[in-house]
């Protein structure tokens, strides 16, 4: 079988970008860890609230987790955007070679 090949050479620019998903997940995990530390550090069960309601430790953790996890995700996104702007400025020019092989059917 005779083969026919065509080769094209092009130049392209490559730049590194951070993986945003990793930064968002790590920020959320940091927020949950912060909520756990705050829950265990401050004892709000001994003092009733202004309206006379006492919250359990798991309720306090849930409330804090809502705010801390959202804040952690936002903080992770901001860090990723800052890294994208600083690290993303460095680009490299690379040469890309593309080869296309076309097989010719036999004439027999």
- Contact between 44 and 55 (Cβ < 8 Å): yes
All residues at 6 or more sequence positions from 107 whose CB lies less than 8 Å from its CB, including other chains:
none
86 alpha carbon, distance to own chain's centre: 17
Task: Evaluate whether 99 touches 3 at the Cβ level (below 8 Å).
Answer: no
What is the DSSP secondary-structure string of 70-97?
HHHHHHHHHHHHHHHHHHTT-EEEEEEE
- Tokens representing 83 are 């890294």
* pTM: predicted TM-score of the whole model, two decimal places: 0.67
pLDDT digits 0-9 by tens, 48-107: 667 777 778 888 899 999 999 999 999 999 999 998 888 877 778 888 888 888 887 776
pLDDT of the residue at 98? 87
Residue pLDDT, tens place only, 71-85: 999 999 999 999 888
């Amino acid at each position: 079988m005779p083969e026919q090949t065509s080769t094209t050479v092009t130049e392209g620019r490559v730049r590194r970008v951070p993986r945003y998903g990793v930064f968002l997940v790590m920020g959320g995990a940091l927020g949950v860890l912060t909520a756990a530390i705050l829950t265990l550090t401050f004892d709000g069960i001994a003092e009733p609230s202004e309206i006379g309601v006492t919250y359990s430790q798991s309720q306090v953790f849930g409330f804090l987790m809502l705010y801390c996890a959202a804040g952690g995700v936002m903080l992770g996104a901001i860090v990723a955007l800052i890294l994208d702007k600083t690290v993303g400025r460095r680009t490299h020019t690379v040469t890309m070679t593309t080869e296309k092989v076309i097989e010719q059917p036999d004439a027999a």
